[in-house]
């Protein structure tokens, strides 16, 4: 942390600042310039920069290291690659996940999976615990839904991704699910993240509706710091003033997160746009921008879907998209199954 003092401040102000940072476990290095005195505070501890800003004579406080450590490229320069059912996310790999928003019935999963297996889908998505804005909307089939999901996936030799909303659901999810998803609304459910740090299955954290990249990385840090190294980040659109699309898909997530973190970055163009016809263009753009994976909603009969039908692709549309992605991926150095 760099602390710049105001020009001409009395020596006592500088000493007070040094005393303060040292009392918080930092080593202080002072550079006395012609105009300004700058104090470099070096240490592993965390400190709220505002506490220093309020001290007399302080002009500016600049943090030079990130508050996340294990998620950072400084800690691990090489990309983390996460493999599930032969599908790899990260490094030179692009992984794909597809399936309906929610588990509705075994028949629905069976039909969707039967179509998707022809497009080489190896990881099936579907939520059994659903975070719904309205308490009157379909809330998901719960553990019974997870069992159906597992059964359908096994029939087609697929792995599964599904959302875990609270600590009490972890046990069931661990039993049936291969990648546990933390939804956008739960990105900062720190107790849930802490518990997920203890499991040994990959955890995909979706960016909150109004979360900064740093906050997303801090959430990843919760899972990493408890010993679970398999964390995937997912950009799924943020809330902006725009009303045409459901959310604003922030593809900057890819170059921004990949520069500062070694964790794989996935894109969810379904929730990111909310409209079926916008899903393929944004998926192509995400692949071109170097994402490590896509999670896409597909339903065998989107018009009859209980949840998110408008943003779900028909299986034939997914197949066309898959063939397009296969052509784009190698251009950006990515291999795809």
Position 184 contacts ligand PEP (CB under 6 A)? yes
Nearest residue relative to ligand PEP (C-beta): 183
Position 271 contacts ligand PEP (CB under 6 A)? yes
Position 286 contacts ligand PEP (CB under 6 A)? no
Nearer to ligand PEP, 206 or 334 (CB): 206
Position 216 contacts ligand PEP (CB under 6 A)? no
Position 308 contacts Mn ion (CB under 5 A)? yes
- Answer whether 148's CB lies under 8 Å from 141's CB: yes
- Separation CA 129–CA 138 (nearest Å): 10
Position 141 contacts ligand PEP (CB under 6 A)? no
Give the one residue of 131, 281, 330, 333 binding ligand PEP; rule: CB under 6 A: 131
Nearer to ligand PEP, 57 or 272 (CB): 272
CB of 145 to ligand PEP, least distance (A): 13
- Separation CA 269–CA 281 (nearest Å): 9
Give the one residue of 88, 122, 150, 236 binding ligand PEP; rule: CB under 6 A: 236
Return the ∠ at Cα 321 (arms to 281 and 86), rounded to 5°. Answer: 120
- Separation CA 259–CA 299 (nearest Å): 34
Nearer to ligand PEP, 127 or 302 (CB): 127
Position 321 contacts Mn ion (CB under 5 A)? no
Nearer to Mn ion, 102 or 197 (CB): 102
- Separation CA 337–CA 335 (nearest Å): 7
Sign of CA dihedral 125, 313, 264, 210: negative
Give the one residue of 3, 71, 101, 280 binding Mn ion; rule: CB under 5 A: 101
Give the one residue of 57, 99, 145, 183 binding ligand PEP; rule: CB under 6 A: 183
CB of 184 to ligand PEP, least distance (A): 4
Partner in contact with 262, chosen from Mn ion, ligand PEP, none, beta carbon below 5 to 8 Å by kind = none
- Answer whether 190's CB lies under 8 Å from 214's CB: no
Nearer to ligand PEP, 111 or 185 (CB): 185
Return the ∠ at Cα 318 (arms to 317 and 322), rounded to 5°. Answer: 120
Q: CA 301 → CA 87, 109, 239, 252, 321, distances in Å?
A: 26, 11, 28, 32, 18
CB of 283 to ligand PEP, least distance (A): 15
**Quick one: the chain helix, strand, coil %, rounded to 5?**
40, 20, 40
Position 246 contacts ligand PEP (CB under 6 A)? no
- Answer whether 128's CB lies under 8 Å from 166's CB: no
What residues contact residue 113 under an 8 Å CB cut-off, 6+ apart?
Answer: 99, 121, 124, 152, 153, 155, 156, 158
Position 163 contacts Mn ion (CB under 5 A)? no
Q: Which helix (H) or strand (E) holds 31?
A: strand 27-32
Pick the stretch among 25-33, 234-242, 300-308, 321-329 that binds Mn ion (CB under 5 A): 300-308
Pick the stretch among 23-31, 47-55, 99-107, 232-240 that binds Mn ion (CB under 5 A): 99-107
Nearer to Mn ion, 28 or 234 (CB): 234
CB of 181 to ligand PEP, least distance (A): 6
Nearer to ligand PEP, 57 or 302 (CB): 302
- Separation CA 138–CA 301 (nearest Å): 17
Nearer to ligand PEP, 206 or 276 (CB): 206
Residue 310 has, within 13 A of its CA and on its CB side, a CA count of: 7
Q: Which residues bind ligand PEP (CB under 6 A)?
A: 101, 127, 131, 183-185, 206, 236, 268, 271
């Amino acid at each position: 942390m760099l602390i710049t003092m105001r020009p001409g401040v009395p020596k006592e102000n500088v000493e007070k600042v040094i005393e303060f940072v040292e009392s918080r476990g930092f080593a202080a290095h002072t550079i006395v310039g012609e105009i300004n005195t700058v104090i470099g505070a070096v240490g592993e501890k965390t400190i709220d920069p505002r506490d220093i800003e309020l001290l007399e004579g302080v002009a500016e406080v600049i943090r030079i290291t990130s508050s996340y450590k294990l998620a950072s490229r400084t800690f691990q320069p090489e990309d983390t690659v996460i493999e599930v059912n032969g599908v790899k996310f990260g490094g030179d790999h692009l992984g794909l996940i597809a399936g309906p928003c929610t588990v509705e019935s075994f028949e629905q999963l069976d039909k969707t999976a039967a179509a998707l297996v022809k497009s080489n889908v190896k990881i099936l998505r579907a939520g059994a615990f659903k975070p719904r804005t309205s308490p009157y909307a379909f809330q998901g089939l719960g553990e019974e839904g997870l069992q159906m999901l597992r059964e359908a996936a096994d029939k087609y030799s697929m792995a599964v991704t599904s959302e875990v909303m609270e600590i009490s659901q972890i046990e069931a999810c661990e039993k049936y699910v291969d990648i546990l998803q933390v939804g956008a609304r739960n990105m900062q459910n720190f107790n849930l993240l802490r518990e997920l740090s203890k499991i040994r299955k990959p955890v995909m954290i979706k960016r909150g509706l109004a979360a900064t990249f740093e906050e997303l990385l801090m959430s990843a840090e919760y899972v990493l710091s408890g010993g679970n190294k398999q964390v995937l980040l997912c950009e799924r659109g943020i809330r902006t003033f725009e009303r045409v699309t459901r959310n604003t898909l922030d593809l900057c997530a890819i170059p921004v997160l990949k520069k500062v973190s070694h964790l794989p970055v996935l894109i969810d163009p379904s929730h990111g746009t909310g409209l079926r016809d916008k899903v393929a263009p944004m998926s192509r753009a995400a692949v071109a921008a170097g994402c490590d994976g896509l999670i896409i909603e597909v339903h065998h009969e989107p018009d009859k879907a209980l949840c998110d039908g408008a943003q779900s692709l028909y299986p034939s549309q997914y197949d066309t998209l898959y063939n397009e992605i296969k052509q784009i991926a190698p251009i950006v150095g990515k291999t795809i199954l």
